[in-house]
Structure 1
């Protein structure tokens, strides 16, 4: 059976013989477009093709359009229509080819360039898409959407400066175009020029007050600049207008958590939980915040509620174990960790907790035998070996720990965690140079490991050797983890060893601000003040050390010497 629309081709050929044999008369010698159709046969076929397209008969439409193109070879409108049909069939290469045919006939055809640009963008050929949009703008520079398309193509091909230039042209042509300002803000954010973007987001919002995405991106941009108060205010304003927007809420909650405003985050999460928004994820976050706030019973209750709905949520089980462990209920913690099956992703984390909990209960030998049993069942995993060496280390059985780890080096030759643990144990055994060699091995495998950088740098400081090398290692560690108080302490201590006491005090004070209950950090800072002959601060700090550790002989001796030197009784 011949499709109805195909029959139309034969019918038209029969009833319009003149059209089939006579050349169409060009109008002003211009290529055909929809405004200039001189070939009535082609026009009839084109109109039938449109009907076929509406009816969903795309193959029939294409057959009619091909016949129309034979009748009117210069008909640009026919090729752009064929491109549209191919797009409906999701045949992008064929659609692009028809656009190219149209452009070949009429290089100044605005529609063909715009359509080609859209197709190329969909094919992720962004540089070529940008070129088509540029040509379309040259033909018609009043079409606002073209500037947006071109800018997006530039952004996708990482040509941010070009995107900015185009968007500035757009807002010059169309100063009330909210999207132009919005994408200008986005482009600056992509360029990491966060200080530039807020003004454009604000202008977009002024022009389009219901532009929620611009308001969200404004808040994110403010957050990126560290303008936490403004960002939180922006998120809260958005939430007041749309209290059920989970995306905004998650941004705000995460920001509050980062700022350690846990009570505020908890209040917001509880509102979400009451409205059953975000489901179990809300409960999980409520549980974790309660865990952080040391409200262990509340955390356990929430986590158990989650487990009733998702019995296989092994991470939740792990959190329950954490809560009991922090409460000091070791037996219940062991019971919870033991429910995590060997197939779970966090099984070996649970194994480590179980072993050290038995050690803390005084069952050291049971902890050792437990880990050896795990090793016998899973010898291919490194974790239980590391845990076992840690148990030995905690009992000052460094040789036993080293024997375990050196015995598996051939099995795990390039594992940085193994080399790090070996370095620690050799250090504890008093073999400093072997420890240094192991830490250097870690850094050869993972050059940006902040723990290894810190350990090696601090070792040099303690030994009084290679201090300049140690300083560089510790500066690098600090750049990777700028908020780590222990790395800050190491950096201050190596400055102390270099006799750069002012620098030492700067970093040691920062370390003490971050970690205010560590006797070693206090002692280091006290030593730095004493070296500057600031005995008042030094004595105050050494006395705090003794409050933390009444058996700290170093602090007691330092206090005695300072009193002798100052004549203080």
Structure 2
């Protein structure tokens, strides 16, 4: 009876209704024979009232989502009556519930109670590996690998579990020994490469991947696995490794070939990335993904004509997101001060994910041309299309601000905050606007409120730190906030500018100028240039300040902050 009850509880698979290997009757006969062989070696347990109640209560708990309680009861019953079937059921429920510690206890008991069960040994070995204890599972893997047909699946599991191992060096040594038994098996090379990567044995890992280029040149998973782990562990090695792996696989799938320039983009090596995409374009003409990537990199370099040509070609070739291409083309026209052409692109963006953004861009163009009311009305119509209604209010405020109506923008934000007091972006925007309106106390209060809503916001930390530094107050706190923002975004030009500015306020002029130079290199901007001129004048380097002003006014003719600073400091060229 126990056997029948457990079979009914544990089985969730639908019966097989046919197979190319034989009739349904043949399959049922084979299954019955296997079950009979298993039952012959398992203990005969007498059903009693307590056992029956425990089984039924456990299954009821499992059916109602209480898998931990059910697994615990099954494990207790298995320990009491010494039946491996109960231990197996405890393991199944533990694994379903994600309780690996209880699963290990259940699997260990199952394996001990039924030492002939290959399934028990296999599941125990994998569970140990999943918990980072592959070295402890070495005897189990030795036994399981005595049947060569099991090796591919086992080594694949070992490979993907390599990052989880607590003792990575011990794991590497175990995998080395196991892999030596299967020197030509592709999966063993994958496992060896994965475990070697974790301990920095890069020559071994690279050699294993190199071997795969001959035995399985089309298998990209081991290559990409190593790339991703290198990016996490030793980023500088990822691109050179992938470049060599591709050289070893001249006929590798296009998706793997595309991974290399994409990796260069992630590393901000834009020139090299564009060259690689261009090379791939010659070998794969009219590929929409390649054309799109080249177009975006052209845009990054402000090569607007080439960017337009490549992006339009990508769209014509069937790029999967044509609306985003239209939005990008509109932004390019915006940057070139061609509002009519920009609007024409934005108006082609139909209903969908980018429609609200395109409409907001049109509204911005309307506001810039003096049609603020029309712009606000356009944004108002987007209400039903927005998942975040607070964003609509933010856009309305930004339109009023950009149209020079800062008091109106402030009023819009104040009204919106009464409706959406938890909207961080509204507090942030009003804080920035309050600072521009000469309300420093309100600016500080709003930015502190925004930071309270998200204490880890890099943008808010930087804004609050800069606001304090600009007022010349609480400079120690200002610097601390900016340093935290810089730790989160070390290459951010705006944050580097804030660091330079707070150092300037603290009188550390040489350090300040160094930071401002780095900021300008990352983000050529008129306000950063104005800060550099401020520092030079403070250092008494008036001639240098005047020369810099002459250059920067040419580069940033529309920067009001720069023009005002040059005039105030009397360093006009």
Could you tell me the TM-score, scaled by structure 1's length?
A: 0.70
Is 1:420–1:438's contact at 8 Å kept on the other side of the alignment?
Answer: yes
Counterpart of 2:122 in structure 1 is: 118
Structure 1 position 62, deviation (Å): 2.4
Gaps of 5+ in 1: 1-51, 75-82, 564-569
Q: In the aligned structure 1, how far is the partner of 2:193 from the partner of 2:250?
A: 23
Residues 299/120 of structure 1: CA separation in 2 closer, same or farther (3 Å cut): farther
Is 2:280–2:290's contact at 8 Å kept on the other side of the alignment?
Answer: yes
Counterpart of 2:270 in structure 1 is: 260
Of the three residues 448, 456, 460, the one matched with 1:448 is: 456
Is 2:175–2:192's contact at 8 Å kept on the other side of the alignment?
Answer: no
Q: CA offsets, 1:90-136, max 9 Å, x none? A: 9999xx9999878535x4x5xx45x4343457899934995994442
Q: Which has the larger radius of gyration?
A: 1
Question: What does 1:476-515 correspond to in 2, within 5 Å?
Answer: 476-515=484-523
Q: In the aligned structure 2, how far is the partner of 1:482 from the partner of 1:537?
A: 28
Q: In the aligned structure 1, how far is the partner of 2:375 from the partner of 2:107?
A: 74
Structure 1 position 477, deviation (Å): 1.0
Residues 153/208 of structure 1: CA separation in 2 closer, same or farther (3 Å cut): closer
Q: In the aligned structure 2, how far is the partner of 1:70 from the partner of 1:485?
A: 71
Is 2:349–2:358's contact at 8 Å kept on the other side of the alignment?
Answer: yes
- 1:349 and 2:357 are equivalent in the alignment: yes
Residues 555/304 of structure 1: CA separation in 2 closer, same or farther (3 Å cut): closer
Is 2:135–2:174's contact at 8 Å kept on the other side of the alignment?
Answer: no
Is 2:526–2:556's contact at 8 Å kept on the other side of the alignment?
Answer: yes
Is 1:137–1:147's contact at 8 Å kept on the other side of the alignment?
Answer: no
- 1:329 and 2:338 are equivalent in the alignment: yes
Q: CA offsets, 1:403-433, max 9 Å, x none? A: 2121122321201111111112222221111
Counterpart of 2:67 in structure 1 is: none
Counterpart of 1:32 in structure 2 is: none
Structure 1 position 236, deviation (Å): 5.9
Could you tell me the TM-score, scaled by structure 2's length?
A: 0.69
Structure 1 position 209, deviation (Å): 5.2
Gaps of 5+ in 2: 1-19, 44-84, 96-103
Counterpart of 2:349 in structure 1 is: 340
Residues 475/91 of structure 1: CA separation in 2 closer, same or farther (3 Å cut): closer
- Once superposed, what is the RMSD of the aligned Cα atoms? 4.6
Structure 1 position 467, deviation (Å): 0.5
Question: What does 1:205-244 correspond to in 2, within 5 Å?
Answer: 205=209, 210=214, 225-227=234-236, 231-232=239-240, 234-235=242-243, 238-239=246-247, 241-244=249-252
Question: What does 1:276-425 correspond to in 2, within 5 Å?
Answer: 280-300=288-308, 302-304=310-312, 309=318, 313-341=322-350, 343-374=351-382, 381-425=389-433
Is 2:131–2:164's contact at 8 Å kept on the other side of the alignment?
Answer: no
Counterpart of 2:203 in structure 1 is: 199
Number of residue-to-residue matches in the alignment: 482
Is 1:151–1:167's contact at 8 Å kept on the other side of the alignment?
Answer: no
Q: In the aligned structure 2, how far is the partner of 1:418 from the partner of 1:91?
A: 47
Is 2:128–2:134's contact at 8 Å kept on the other side of the alignment?
Answer: no
Segments ≥4 residues shifted beyond 6 Å: 52-56, 70-74, 90-93, 96-102, 121-125, 138-148, 376-380
Residues 398/124 of structure 1: CA separation in 2 closer, same or farther (3 Å cut): farther
Counterpart of 1:271 in structure 2 is: 282
Counterpart of 2:113 in structure 1 is: 104
Counterpart of 2:27 in structure 1 is: 58
